[in-house]
Amino acid sequence: TWSIPLFTSPPEEHHPLAIAATALKSSNLPVAFPTETVYGLGADATRSEAVRGIYAAKGRPSDNPLIVHVPDLDMLKRFLPDTGLPEIYKEMITKFWPGPLTILLPVPTGKGGILAPEVTAGLETFGVRMPASALARTLIKLVGNPLAAPSANASTRPSPTKAEHVLEDLEGRIELILDGGDCSVGVESTVVDGLCSPPVVLRPGGVGIEELKKCKGWEGVVKGYKDHSEVGDKNGTPRAPGMKYKHYSPRARVVLFEGGKRLEKGDVKGGGGETVAFIRTGKWREVAGGSRSSKVEERIRGEGEEGGSFVVKQGVLLDEDGKEITKLLDVDLGQDVKGVAHGLFAALRELDRLGADVIFVEGVSDGDDIAAAVMNRLRKAASEIRH
C-alpha cells in the first residue's frame, strides 16, 4: 500500500507531507496543497466539520459544490461499490487521469455513501478528479480519505498558482500551506458531465474539448457554460454553480481585447494619475503615447522584475515637460497558449501587487484547446471587453 508517488515507506512524522496529512485528519481548518492546475484548499471529504471549514475560510457560498480528489482508482471505487464506473468515462479517465479533468458521478448512497453532504451542496452528482501532482496524490494517500478541495483563493479572486498567492488571500484562516512551487498547468480542471446525453463540458479547463471529442461517446459533446459576461443575462443559469459568480478578478479593472484585437499605439493615453498595465500575448508593439508615441519608448525606463515565469517591465509615460503622467507595467506571456495559461493568474495578481489601476489584456484566439479556458477566465475577470 506504499506504492504512492513519493515514498516507498511512510514519511517521518516531521516531514511536511506527514504534518499536512495529520492536520487534515485532525483539524477542522483546511490545508492548502499544490495540484498541477491550481492550489487546492483541502479537507477530508468524509468529515462534515472539516468541509465546512473550507467554505468558512474562502467565504464561499454554500450552494457551490466542491471537487473531490482521489490518488488512485482504488479510492475512487469506494464511491462505486455497487454500480462501478459509468462506461462513458472509461476511455476518458484512462487517457486523462491523473490530470486536469473532473467527471461528475451520481452522489453515492448505501455502502458508497461516505461523502459529507456539504461537499455536494445538495446536488445529485459530485465532481471527482485524480490530480497529476505527485505531492497531491501522496498527501491524499497519507490521509487515507478523499480530499474535497476548491481552488485556494478567496472567493472572486484569481486562482492561486503559487503558495504565496494562497498566503495573500487566506493567511490566518487556514491550517497550513504545503508549498510545491508553481502549478504547471495554471488554469483549473475541465469539468464534464457524461451522465446526460449528449455529454456536456461544464467548465473549460486544462483538457481541451478537441481532446475530449476523441473519446468514445464524446464525439458530440456540447458546451454547457456561458462565457460572455453574465451581467444582465437572464437566460440560462450555468449548470456548474460556481460559473455564475463573479470570478478570477484582481482589484484592478480588467479590459479584455477579444477576437484577435491587439493592443495598439494610442490605446494608452495617460493622464489621471492611473497606473496602467498590459498583459500581452502577441508580438510586442508600442502601445503608449498617442501623439507623443515616438518618444515614449525611450522614456519607458525601469528594469524587468522577476514575476515567476514572466517579467514585469516597469516604466513611466512623460509629457513634453518631462512630467510623469502615467506609470506603466508591462507583462509579456508569450505566444504559446500553454504559457499564457500557466502565467495568467500569477500575472493578474502580480500587477495588482504592483498597484495597477487598469489592466489591458490581449486575449488568445478562442480554440477548442486550453485557449477556451484562458478566454473563459478572462471574460469573467473583465469589466470591459473590446472587439
Amino acid at position 323, single letter: K
| 207 contributes a contact to ligand TXA by CB under 6 A | no
Under rule CB under 6 A, which residues in 93-132 are in contact with ligand TXA?
Answer: 100, 102, 104, 123, 125-127
From 50, 66, 344, 381, residue interacting with ligand TXA (rule: CB under 6 A): 66
288 part of the interface to ligand TXA, by CB under 6 A: no
**Segment holding 376, helix H or strand E:** helix 371-381
Does residue 4 belong to the site contacting ligand TXA (CB under 6 A)? no
Q: Residue 265 to residues 73, 139, 294, 297, 359: CA-CA distances in angstroms?
A: 54, 50, 10, 11, 16
- Tell the smallest beta-carbon distance from residue 150 to Mg ion (Å): 5
The least distance separating ligand TXA from the CB of residue 102, rounded to whole angstroms, comes to: 5
Query: Which entry of ligand TXA, Mg ion, none binds 175, CB below 5 to 8 A by partner kind?
Result: none
Stretch that binds ligand TXA, among 147-155, 262-270, 272-280, 304-312 (CB under 6 A): 147-155
Site string for Mg ion, 145-164 (x = CB under 5 A): ------x-------------
Task: List the one residue out of 281, 308, 240 whose CA is nearest residue 370.
Answer: 281
Interface map 232-271 toward ligand TXA (x if CB under 6 A): -------xxxxx----------------------------
Residue 190 found at the interface with Mg ion (CB under 5 A): no
Q: Say what the alpha-carbon torsion angle 223, 189, 26, 29 is, to the nearest 10 degrees.
A: -80
- Nearest to Mg ion of 180, 315 (CB atom): 180
Helices and strands in the chain: count of H runs, count of E runs: 11, 17
Figure out which of the listed residues 133, 189, 249, 376 binds ligand TXA, where binding follows CB under 6 A.
189
- 340 sits in the region (left: phi over 0; alpha: psi -120 to 50; else beta) called alpha
Q: Which is nearer to ligand TXA, 29 or 195 (CB)?
A: 195
Q: Which residues bind Mg ion (CB under 5 A)?
A: 151
